[in-house]
Amino acid sequence: MYLPESMGGTKNISALERTMQKTGVQSLWLDANFAKNEIGKTFFEEKTLTDGFSKSLRFFAIAKNEKTLESLLKHIEALLEGHTPGFLLGIAVSPAQAAHVLEHTECIKRHGIGICLVSEQFFSPGEKDALQFLIESEQAIKRLDSKGVKEVSVFFTHINPAVAFNACRHIKENTGARVVVSFSPCENEKSCLIRNAIFLGSVFSESIADEVLVLPQSGEHFSTAVSEAKKILSSCQVYPRGYTIISCPMCGRCMLDIETLTKTIEKRLAALEKHYFDSGRRLEDIGGITVAVMGCIVNGPGEAREADIGIAGAKKNRGVLFMEGKPFKTVTQERIVDELLSHTKSLVDERFKNIKVSKFR
């Protein structure tokens, strides 16, 4: 998640960590300009560096020029003398700045500081800039590798998804570095949504990308932007969704008001997801839950056998509950929603018992 100075949000580190954990954000990118950025100042205080964030979270400081990079490296080296960071620390630099990074190789290796290569233009490289960036990145990765700096990733973004896809694939195939791609919310523009879905689905389905850097709109809270990114990724089946509802297209055998029932069940599932979220657990942590709403018992359970649990219409105003395609209980239509949600909750609770998931605070 990129958090620019103009971003709406919190300046409290503890609250920021809670929000990151709740939304599933694992990396925070921040401009390394402590003089202007209150969160940046706090991050680079000794207490935050040593015990501020959990070990599973990563913080990247973006050095946009040599002066900032030099100041950042010296600042980090002085603060980390005799300390171990309380979270994973990284520095985002352009390939041209790699030479300056190498002057601090021992500090970087000693404290496990990651390096991410970004373009000079950072968020909007042109066609020629893209090719030059690829060449310079490969050279920089070789130099860093020769000095024992192994934790290297590359961030690439481009307005043309074809250029972005081919560039990311080239990076992965020729360097083996972690590839970071970008996501920007679309404000309901269909063409933008389609472009994001095609690009993200492609780079993740082919195991090219390793991480998504969410770039929120100006003034947008980052949790909103992350939510939009997760919707796209879950639709592409590369990120687990909290819950998914599937239903049949309805035919002459349909014995339920599928549309009305689905809307009601979706509201109840949203409330159930919030219940777990408020208690410090995410449905994504158990791989999500899939609920089927099918019109009839004839084909419903079989067609929806991939679902975790579901309901199918039956004669005499009844519904049949089924799990993984196997019916297990018949209820009246008035009881369908309550019974379905009750068994869904029991199923979720059981799955949480069987896995080790750390609650967020």
Tell whether 222 and 249 lie within a shared domain: no
Q: Based on the domain organization, do 157 and 263 belong to the same domain? A: no
Tokens of 91: 């520095």
pLDDT for res 361? 40
Note whether residue 183 is domain-resident.
yes
pTM given for the model: 0.69
Per-residue exposure over 191-203, b if at least 16 CB sit within 10 Å of its own CB, e if not = eebebbbebbbbb
If asked whether residues 54 and 180 sit together in one domain, one would say yes
In a domain, 161, yes or no: yes
Are 138 and 270 in the same domain?
no
Q: Which of 182, 209, 235 is the last residue of a domain?
A: 235
The per-residue DSSP string of 312-361 comes to: EEETTTEEEEEETTEEEEEEEGGGHHHHHHHHHHHHHHHHHHTS--PPP-
Residues 180 and 73 in one domain: yes
Last residue of a domain, one of 235, 264, 286: 235
What CATH number does the domain containing 173 carry?
Answer: 3.20.20.20
Q: Is the dihedral of CA 103, 106, 111, 116 positive or negative?
A: positive
**Same domain flag for 210 and 256:** no
Domain count across the chain: 2
293 and 335 both lie in a single domain: yes
Backbone angles phi, psi at 317, to 5 degrees: 55, 45
What b-and-e string marks burial along 299-325, b requiring 16 or more CB atoms within 10 Å of the CB?
ebbebbeebbbbbbbbeeebbbbbbee
- Cα-Cα-Cα-Cα dihedral of 29, 32, 34, 40, to 10°? 20
Residues 6+ apart with CB under 8 A from 231: none
Per-residue tokens: 176? 């083996």
| Residue 142 falls inside a structural domain | yes
CA–CA dist 226, 114 (Å, integer): 23
How many Cβ atoms are within 10 Å of 122's Cβ, its own excluded? 15
Residue 358 lies in a domain: no
User: Do the domain assignments include residue 267?
Assistant: yes
Both 283 and 160 in one domain: the answer is no
Q: Where are the beta strands (DSSP E) in 101-234?
A: 114-117, 152-155, 178-183, 211-214
CA 342 to the chain's CA centroid = 29
User: What are the φ and ψ backbone dihedral angles of 60, each rounded to 5 degrees?
Assistant: -110, 125
Nearest to 209 by CA among 269, 136, 155, 159: 155
Contact 44/257 with Cβ under 8 angstroms? Answer: no
Say if residue 122 is in the same domain as residue 152: yes
Specify if 361 maps to a domain: no
Report how far apart, in Å, the C-alpha atoms of 79 and of each of 4, 28, 48, 85, 345 are.
23, 20, 11, 9, 48
Residue 8 lies in a domain: no
Return the pLDDT at 8.
42
In this structure, what CATH number is given to the domain that contains residue 349? 3.30.413.10
Report whether 149 contacts 103 (CB < 8 A). Answer: no
Query: What's the domain range around 316?
Result: 243-353
Q: Rounded to an integer, what distance in angstroms lies between the CA atom of residue 112 and that of residue 47?
A: 18
Query: Please, what is the end-to-end C-alpha distance for the chain in angstroms?
Result: 19
Q: Are residues 211 and 93 in the same domain?
A: yes
The answer to whether residues 226 and 265 belong to one domain is no
Q: Residue 49's pLDDT is what?
A: 45
Q: Are 57 and 20 in contact (CB under 8 A)?
A: yes
Q: Is residue 105 part of a domain?
A: yes
Q: Coil, strand or helix: which one is 103? A: coil
Under a CB-based contact definition with an 8 Å cutoff, are residues 122 and 159 in contact?
no
Domain boundary among 235, 268, 283: 235
Residues 280 and 194 in one domain: no
The list of the chain residues with pLDDT below 70 reads 1-59, 76-88, 120-128, 185-189, 217-223, 252, 356-361
The Cα 140–Cα 263 span in angstroms is 53
Strand pairing of 309-314 and 318-323? antiparallel
